[in-house]
Chain A
């Protein structure tokens, strides 16, 4: 797979990830990760494996994080590994109804699965 092919794939993966998160479906979000995946959150210890990821995304969604958006900057594939670097943004609405926006850099590493799908092996942002 060429890197330009993977760029199109990564755009689709971003849309699916954002749609699942914004639909508050933590199980669907978690399904986009490899069984051995790790999330490296900003300001918190690293999270490994499906069960831990399920509760991490459940908690994040319950905290009221909305409008998550991934914007791809660059993507490349090398055999069964691929990555993209990009920007993320999201918002929270506090008890007073004030909207606060957050954003930063994001790096996503993917592993090709036996069925040909790409799943996240690591997800780090700042």
Chain B
């Protein structure tokens, strides 16, 4: 009897410890380092989809209510319109998009980065043209824990 009580006590203590760790992990705030690592992966995936000229993959990186705020164009909202926007750029010959992160912040279910972008316009009848500017991307955490773009602004 005595031994089994000890075992029960040990098991209960272990469960309490596991629960405490789980609660701590759920409440622990992701550090700026964690946010940087998340954003670095998101940027690599975004640039990779652009390199493959996959408008469908790119549009899958946006929230269902995501918006583009393009330089020199009207704002674009929603998955289909966003896919069409990137298709249009690929048809013009835009390639080699690169996002360079400068600063990242994370608060609750919102993540943001500011950075720089560059891309190359390749067309048959002219030399490749380099474009670049500033960029701001705001992400919203989805129910499945992934991060999707709510706004994407550049100049």
Contact = CB atoms under 8 A, between A and B. Distances in A.
B67 A46 contact: no
A38 B32 CA distance: 17
Given A79-B108, A85-B151, A126 B70 contact: yes
Interface string A111-126: 1000000000110111
Contacts of B75: 73, 85, 105
Given A40-B134, A122-B136, A79 B107 contact: yes
Interface residues on B, range: 20 to 34
29 contacts: A38-B103, A40-B114, A40-B136, A41-B134, A42-B134, A46-B114, A73-B75, A76-B150, A78-B107, A78-B110, A78-B140, A79-B108, A79-B110, A80-B107, A81-B107, A81-B112, A83-B151, A85-B69, A104-B155, A105-B69, A107-B136, A107-B138, A107-B151, A107-B153, A109-B112, A121-B105, A122-B114, A124-B114, A126-B72
